[in-house]
């Protein structure tokens, strides 16, 4: 009983305490709820304040421009008014240099150069609008389940996030402030690569000297021009300013609502391409699909086109001449563009491509070379000797949207020099520094045609110049009809084979039959084809029909192992072609002072041309080097006869090495002309020739070349063996040791270079870096062959030392013996 009373007393004391605690908890919860509600109301209020009424953002002071997006300038701020219908629509954002300092990027970046291309979409997310950068590397049809995984595993980055500033009065568009976006140092837009930033020691953007210059909106694109000034310790020009200023042009273009039907790439015909992996394929792996890059050409009259009549395209390819182009060159540049009209006729289109003068400011005040709607032949004031033909394409289909051909002012000097050196022996019009305007114009015309070819989708076809027999280059009717290469897309600039007395031959390149074939293959519309796959049978048939004719063979520039796919060569036999070329060079060398310094009373041109003459001689040598350890590459499909890769025949390789031993590695006395050398330099005569000889000697003994020789032995024991190559090279390079003859200083230098290369092959831990054709030298026969050859040579030199006809030769052999012994036993 007493316990019960005690419990009641305790309960009566604790009960009020529990009730008070519960009351506190309740009050605290209510306070927290009220606080959260207030915070939420505050956020909503701030949001409401952020997203203001349209009139409060786009005020009466606004300068507006209707177009793809309506753009507004309000005082110092810029706005995009984005129609909601254009959210999530794919656009291409292209960043270009509009103006830049001299020397930026090493001379190969100029006004008009594209700095970046990005596929973007504008996307709404809560109270923001995002720019998302998209990729077409991986795709799958949205209707397939795997498309979910593709999106999850290829999540696209956000380039920028904008707060929504306002909505249009009818709520059909969203307004964002883009001022900060276009005034900030966003690397994807700035034009300055990481390498440039490192080279010029760029510290950062100076906001006080950076601003938006102009913003224009057009029906399908928006153009923004920005001026950026960076603080840089080592700028490319005017170093005392410690500044780099560039003017960038951002072009944002809406991609076609109905994408062009792409055409599947076939490596047997040369094209620039775009690729993606299709995860919706029925194959047991992601299916890589590669499409060629080409302009969208569609016939105006489909029925007439299908009947085989020539028809104009719905939309022509139009190029405009840069207003900065010199008057006397304009006709040749236009002709270079329109050289492609004939090949397009082979594809059924007439007047497919034309060139016009750019409109004057009075005719079109809004015309700008940076506007992505216009393709322009840019004429660049630069000392760079080059020309390029880049283009911008739709990554979804490969459709080329725009291109700028870039011509650097000094490039014609390169062509003048090579015209003189390569054709001067047989061509009287080339024997002068004042090449006539007609010849120079034709050269420029063909260079422009070559660069336009790139802009139409064609890469270099280095196999085209190997299609013709060497002797045909000496025949006027043949060269006038077929030119000097089967394609303008090869690096075959001049006919250096024609000899004095070969009357009427053509010396300058021109369009070739491959160009007509490739345009037809890529641009002809195939009736009733509704998918890329439905075209394959017809496209394959066109290739197979031409497969056995070398005129229509494509030679990949990257196939450095195939002697038929070389740069700057002509003819189907490099030994014969280079023999003719060097024969002509010897004539030119004798006359070089008469054609240069004697005419100008100045040695500057003589020095320049003599240096280029050495390079030309070296180039002819290089064409022959490639045959040794060479492999022919003939792209085929399994339904064609023959194999893709075939070793160069043994006889051809042996003939090439014999030629090199005579024309490259014996001292070229004809290049040691005192009337030239003693007037252009006080030293360097030996070094200039030695450097060229050693370069080719090392190339002959390159790891990749030796690896191919070993591989070829496995294919057929009758192929040219590395053992035979090493022996033949040793016997040829050291023949004085066997005959007791005297070697010149250049010859002795070359022999020492041989020993250095052999030491490298024997004692260095080297591996071929030509991935994926990886070659491990340490476990190959290379070291065994080198050791054996050095021991054989050591025996010969020990005898030759005792019978040397001069002190110089005895000392030389003693030195070589010591080098070999050290190589064989470094310890």
Prior bond to 29 cis, omega within 30?
A: no
Residues 588, 593, 594, CA angle at the centre, nearest 5°? 85
- pLDDT value for 26: 73
Residues 553, 558, 559, CA angle at the centre, nearest 5°? 60
State how beta strands 114-125 and 91-99 pair: antiparallel
- Alpha helices per DSSP H over 597-744: 597-600, 604-625, 650-663, 674-680, 685-700, 703-715, 722-733, 735-739
More confident residue, 325 or 664: 664
Give the model's confidence band at 373: pLDDT under 50 very low, under 70 low, under 90 confident, else very high: confident
As to burial, measured by CB atoms within 10 angstroms (0-12 exposed, 13-18 middle, 19+ buried), residue 379 is buried
- pLDDT value for 386: 63
Do residues 68 and 219 make contact, with C-beta atoms less than 8 angstroms apart? yes
Measured CA to CA, the distance from residue 403 to residue 736 in angstroms comes to: 58
Among 406-415, 584-593, 749-758, 812-821, which is the least confidently predicted range?
406-415
- pLDDT value for 20: 61
Residues in the chain: 827
Q: What is the pLDDT of residues 274-283, one digit of tens each?
A: 987 654 555 5
- pLDDT value for 75: 93
The b-or-e profile of 191-225 (16+ CB within 10 A means b, else e) is bbeeebbebbebeebbeeebebeebebbeebbbbb
- pLDDT value for 381: 63
Q: What share of residues in the chain are helix, strand, coil (percent, to 5)?
A: 45, 20, 35
Do residues 585 and 692 make contact, with C-beta atoms less than 8 angstroms apart? no
Among 237-251, 428-442, 474-488, which is the least confidently predicted range?
237-251
Measured CA to CA, the distance from residue 450 to residue 444 in angstroms comes to: 10
* Rounded percentage of the chain residues whose pLDDT exceeds 70: 89
Instruction: Kindly calculate the radius of gyration of the chain based on its CA atoms and give it in whole angstroms.
Output: 35
Q: Is residue 382 predicted with pLDDT exceeding 50?
A: yes
Q: Is residue 25 predicted with pLDDT exceeding 90?
A: no
- pLDDT value for 148: 46
Q: What is the pLDDT of residues 32-78, one digit of tens each?
A: 777 777 676 665 555 556 899 999 999 999 999 999 999 999 999 99
DSSP state of 262: P
Q: Read off the pLDDT of each residue in 289-309 and give the average, rounded to a whole number.
A: 95
Q: Which of 133, 222, 114 is nearest to 178 (CA)?
A: 222
- pLDDT value for 146: 44
Q: What is the pLDDT of residues 695-733, one digit of tens each?
A: 999 999 999 999 999 999 999 889 999 999 999 999 999
Do residues 724 and 649 make contact, with C-beta atoms less than 8 angstroms apart? no
Q: Read off the pLDDT of each residue in 475-490 and give the average, rounded to a whole number.
A: 97
What's the whole-number average pLDDT of the chain? Answer: 89
The pTM is what? 0.86
Do residues 596 and 586 make contact, with C-beta atoms less than 8 angstroms apart? no
- pLDDT value for 72: 96
Beta strands in 307-370, from DSSP E residues, in sequence order: 317-321, 353-357
Among 82-91, 348-357, 398-407, 440-449, which is the least confidently predicted range?
398-407
- pLDDT value for 2: 56
Do residues 414 and 383 make contact, with C-beta atoms less than 8 angstroms apart? no
**DSSP three-state, residue 354:** strand
Residues 502, 505, 509, CA angle at the centre, nearest 5°? 140
């Amino acid at each position: 009983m007493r316990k019960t009373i005690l419990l009641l007393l305790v309960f009566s004391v604790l009960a009020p305490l529990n009730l008070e605690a519960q009351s506190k908890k309740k009050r605290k919860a209510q306070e927290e709820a009220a606080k959260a509600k207030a915070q939420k109301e505050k956020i909503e209020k701030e949001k409401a304040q952020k997203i203001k009424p349209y009139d409060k953002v786009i005020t009466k002071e606004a300068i507006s421009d209707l177009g793809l997006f309506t753009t507004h300038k309000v005082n110092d701020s810029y706005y995009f008014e984005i129609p909601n219908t254009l959210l999530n629509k794919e656009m291409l954002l292209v960043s270009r240099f509009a103006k830049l300092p001299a020397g930026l990027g090493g001379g190969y970046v100029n006004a008009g150069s594209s700095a970046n291309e990005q596929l973007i979409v504008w996307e709404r997310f809560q109270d923001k609008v995002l720019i998302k950068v998209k990729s077409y590397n991986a795709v799958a049809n949205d209707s397939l389940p795997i498309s979910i995984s593709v999106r999850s595993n290829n999540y696209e980055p956000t380039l920028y996030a904008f707060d929504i500033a306002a909505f249009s009065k009818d709520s059909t568009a969203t307004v964002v402030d883009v001022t900060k976006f276009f005034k900030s140092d966003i690397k994807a837009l700035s034009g300055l690569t990481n390498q440039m930033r490192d080279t010029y020691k760029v510290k950062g953007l100076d906001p006080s000297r950076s601003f938006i210059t102009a913003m224009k909106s057009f029906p399908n694109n928006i153009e923004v021009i920005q001026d950026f000034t960076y603080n840089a310790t080592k700028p490319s020009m005017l170093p005392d300013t410690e500044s780099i200023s560039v003017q960038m042009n951002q072009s944002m273009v809406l991609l076609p609502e109905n994408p062009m039907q792409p055409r599947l790439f076939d490596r047997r015909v040369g094209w620039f391409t775009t690729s993606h992996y299709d995860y919706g394929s029925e194959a047991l792996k992601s299916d890589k699909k590669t499409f060629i890059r080409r302009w969208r050409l569609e016939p105006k009259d489909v029925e007439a086109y299908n009947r085989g009549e020539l028809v104009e395209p719905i939309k022509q390819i139009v190029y405009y001449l840069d207003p900065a182009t010199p008057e006397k060159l304009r006709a040749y540049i236009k002709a270079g563009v329109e050289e492609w009209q004939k090949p397009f006729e082979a594809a059924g289109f007439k007047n497919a491509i034309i060139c016009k003068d750019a409109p004057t400011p009075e005719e079109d005040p809004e015309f700008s070379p940076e506007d992505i709607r216009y393709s322009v032949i840019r004429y660049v004031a630069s000392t760079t000797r080059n020309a390029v033909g880049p283009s911008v394409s739709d990554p979804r289909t490969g459709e080329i949207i725009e291109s700028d051909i870039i011509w650097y002012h000094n490039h014609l000097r390169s062509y003048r020099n090579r015209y003189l050196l390569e054709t001067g022996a047989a061509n009287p019009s080339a024997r002068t520094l004042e090449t006539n305007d007609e010849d120079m114009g034709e050269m420029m015309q063909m260079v422009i045609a070559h660069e336009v070819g790139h802009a139409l989708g064609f890469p270099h076809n280095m196999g085209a110049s190997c299609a013709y027999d060497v002797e045909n280059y000496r025949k006027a009717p043949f060269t006038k009809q077929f030119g000097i290469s089967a394609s303008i897309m090869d690096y075959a600039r001049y006919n250096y084979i024609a000899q004095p007395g070969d009357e009427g031959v053509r010396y300058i390149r021109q369009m070739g039959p491959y160009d007509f074939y490739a345009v037809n293959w890529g641009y002809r519309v195939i009736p009733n084809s509704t998918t890329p796959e439905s075209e394959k049978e017809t496209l394959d048939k066109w290739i197979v029909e031409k497969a056995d004719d070398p005129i229509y063979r494509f030679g990949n520039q990257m196939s450095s192992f195939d002697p038929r796919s070389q740069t700057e060569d002509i003819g189907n036999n490099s030994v014969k072609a280079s023999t003719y070329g060097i024969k002509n060079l010897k004539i030119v060398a004798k006359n070089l002072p008469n054609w240069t310094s004697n005419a100008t009373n100045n040695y500057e041109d003589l020095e320049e041309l003599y240096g280029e003459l050495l390079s030309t001689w070296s180039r002819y040598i290089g064409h022959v080097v490639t045959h040794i350890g060479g492999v022919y590459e003939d792209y085929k499909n399994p339904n064609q006869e023959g194999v893709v890769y075939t070793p160069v025949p043994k006889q051809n390789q042996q003939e090439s090495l014999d030629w090199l031993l005579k024309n490259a590695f014996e001292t070229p006395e004809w290049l040691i002309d005192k009337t030239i050398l003693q007037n252009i330099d006080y030293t360097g005569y030996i070094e200039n020739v030695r450097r060229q000889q050693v370069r080719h000697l090392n190339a002959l003994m390159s790891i990749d070349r030796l690896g191919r020789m070993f591989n070829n032995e496995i294919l057929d024991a009758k192929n040219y063996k590395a053992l035979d190559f090493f022996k033949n090279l040793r016997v040829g390079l050291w023949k004085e040791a066997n005959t007791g003859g005297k070697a010149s200083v250049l010859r002795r230098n070359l022999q020492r270079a041989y020993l250095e290369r052999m030491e490298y092959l024997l004692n260095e831990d080297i591996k071929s870096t030509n991935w994926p054709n990886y070659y491990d030298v340490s476990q190959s026969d290379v070291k065994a062959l080198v050791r054996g050859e050095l021991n054989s040579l050591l025996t010969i030199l020990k005898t030759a030392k005792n019978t040397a006809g001069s002190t110089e030769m005895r000392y030389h052999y003693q030195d070589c013996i010591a080098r070999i012994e050290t190589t064989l036993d470094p310890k």
